[in-house]
Amino acid sequence: MRHWISGLLLSTTVCVGMTVKNLEFETIGMVEKTIIEAHTGRLTGVLIQVADHWLASSRPSGKRVVSPIASLQIDSEHPGTVFWNIPKEKLQATLCPPNC
C-alpha cells in the first residue's frame, strides 16, 4: 500500500548497506531490513521505520527527531525498492551501492 504526497515520484532500488549521499532532505531511512545512510551538511544518521506513518532519525548530537513517513514509500510488490516521493527541488541524491 502506498501513501502519496505531492511532488515528483522517484524510485531507487536499494539494498542493505547502500549509502545515499547528498540527500537534501532531513530524513534517512530503514525500510523493513533495508538500511540507508544519508550524509548531508546538517544531518548524518540512520532513519528507522517506527510505524506506518512515522520515521525517527538520529542526529550526530544524539537528539532523536520524529517526522512523518510521507517522504518515502514501500513497494510491496518489489521488496527493496524505496519510492522517494519528494519535490524534485528538495531531492538531489547520489547512490553509492555496497557490495551486494
**pLDDT score recorded for residue 78:** 40
Asked, for residue 66, whether it belongs to a domain, the answer is yes
In this predicted model, what pLDDT tens digit does every residue of 19-47 receive, in sequence order? Answer: 343 333 333 333 322 233 333 322 223 33
Identify the burial level of 36 via C-beta atoms within 10 angstroms of its C-beta, where 0-12 means exposed, 13-18 middle and 19 or more buried. buried
In this predicted model, what pLDDT tens digit does every residue of 47-90 receive, in sequence order? Answer: 333 223 233 333 344 433 333 333 444 334 444 334 444 443 43
11 band by pLDDT with thresholds 50, 70 and 90: very low
Total domain count, the chain:
1
Residue 19 has which C-alpha cell? 549509502
Asked, for residue 36, whether it belongs to a domain, the answer is yes
Q: What are the φ/ψ torsions at residue 90 (nearest 5 degrees)?
A: -100, -5
Asked, for residue 39, whether it belongs to a domain, the answer is yes
Q: Distance between CA 18 and CA 6 in Å, rounded? A: 26
Sole residue written with cell 540527500: 23
> Between the CA atoms of 81, 87, 45 and 15, what dihedral angle is there, to the nearest 10 degrees?
10
Asked, for residue 72, whether it belongs to a domain, the answer is yes
Identify the burial level of 51 via C-beta atoms within 10 angstroms of its C-beta, where 0-12 means exposed, 13-18 middle and 19 or more buried. exposed
pTM to 2 decimal places: 0.19
**pLDDT score recorded for residue 47:** 35
**pLDDT score recorded for residue 40:** 30
Asked, for residue 69, whether it belongs to a domain, the answer is yes
Give me the domain span that covers residue 23.
Answer: 8-96
Asked, for residue 3, whether it belongs to a domain, the answer is no
